[in-house]
Amino acid sequence: MRSGSPGNSVVVLLSGGLDSTTLLSIFKTRGYTIFPISFEYGQTHSRELKSVEDLCSYYGLKGKRVKVEIPESTSSLTGNAEIMARSLEEVGSGIPNTFVPSRNAIFLALAASYAFSIGADRIAIGVNSVDYSGYPDCRPEFISRMEETVNLALGKHNAIRIEAPLQYLSKGEIISVGKTNNAPYELTWSCYRGDQVSCGKCDSCLLRLRGFMDAGLQDPLEYREFPDFYLEWIKRG
């Protein structure tokens, strides 16, 4: 099955969060044929996979969900440690215990395999290195080396491009881009704790709320409790 048309089709890594949803809205606005791919890798916050489904329905896309085991992960994201509660200042300093070793290398290698098989010539990933969580596999050096690597693996010279259009944007800027493209943020999920309501305490909730604040927008999601900085901002009107 080679259903992608060259030059106009993209495999989008969709996690159901803010960044990948913004990515989806960008390629949708540009008229691309989109093949979303998501991963079931034992994440405790599997609530995000519900968001992936909702986003695919919203955009009328057929998503591909791929199961992959992460061997011996010690990450809190795969249930092997406690999710930390840190201040916004601490977030981004050092590699947190949510780090799943080599996750983006695993996901991009799988996405490249998918892109090759369906004939898509690009892959989009929502990594960004400004307000990022300290993960080394979100940096531009990694992404560009990975692009070279998958093309060598596939025996093609520059056949597949890996695009990371959010790479140099802050979370607030990303949300502004998404708003311009009418990204349905009410369908997204960011919280590392996979409950019904976002916790408002984990790294991911803090970065998200700070992003909405910076973009001058209120987050449409429900939270168990808001962090002080967000409450104060809301109060100031």
Left, alpha or beta for 167 (phi > 0: left; psi -120 to 50: alpha)? alpha
Q: Is 49 one of the binding residues for its own copies (CB under 8 A)?
A: no
Minimum distance from CB of 141 to its own copies (Å)?
6
Q: Which of 63, 57, 68, 53 lies closest to 13 in space, CA to CA?
A: 63
| Collapsed DSSP state (helix, strand, coil) of residue 81 | coil
Token couple for 190 = 């960011």
Q: Which of 118, 117, 112, 107 lies closest to 162 in space, CA to CA?
A: 112
- Candidates 91, 112, 125, 166: give the one binding its own copies (CB under 8 A): 112
- Candidates 113, 129, 133, 176: give the one binding its own copies (CB under 8 A): 113
Q: Is 104 one of the binding residues for its own copies (CB under 8 A)?
A: yes
Q: Which of 144, 137, 147, 143 lies closest to 112 in space, CA to CA?
A: 147
- Candidates 31, 72, 82, 158: give the one binding its own copies (CB under 8 A): 72
Q: What angle do CA 22, 17, 185 make, to 5 degrees?
A: 60
| Collapsed DSSP state (helix, strand, coil) of residue 125 | coil
Task: Give the per-residue contact string, 155-194, with its own copies (x = CB under 8 A; - = no).
Answer: xx--------------------------------------
What is the rounded (10 degree) CA torsion for 123, 69, 18, 146?
-30
Minimum distance from CB of 14 to its own copies (Å)?
13
Q: Is 81 one of the binding residues for its own copies (CB under 8 A)?
A: no
Q: Is 114 one of the binding residues for its own copies (CB under 8 A)?
A: yes
Q: Is 106 one of the binding residues for its own copies (CB under 8 A)?
A: yes
Which residues are at the interface with its own copies (CB under 8 A)? 1, 37, 64, 66-74, 95, 100-106, 108-110, 112-114, 116-118, 135-137, 139, 141-142, 145-146, 148-150, 152-156
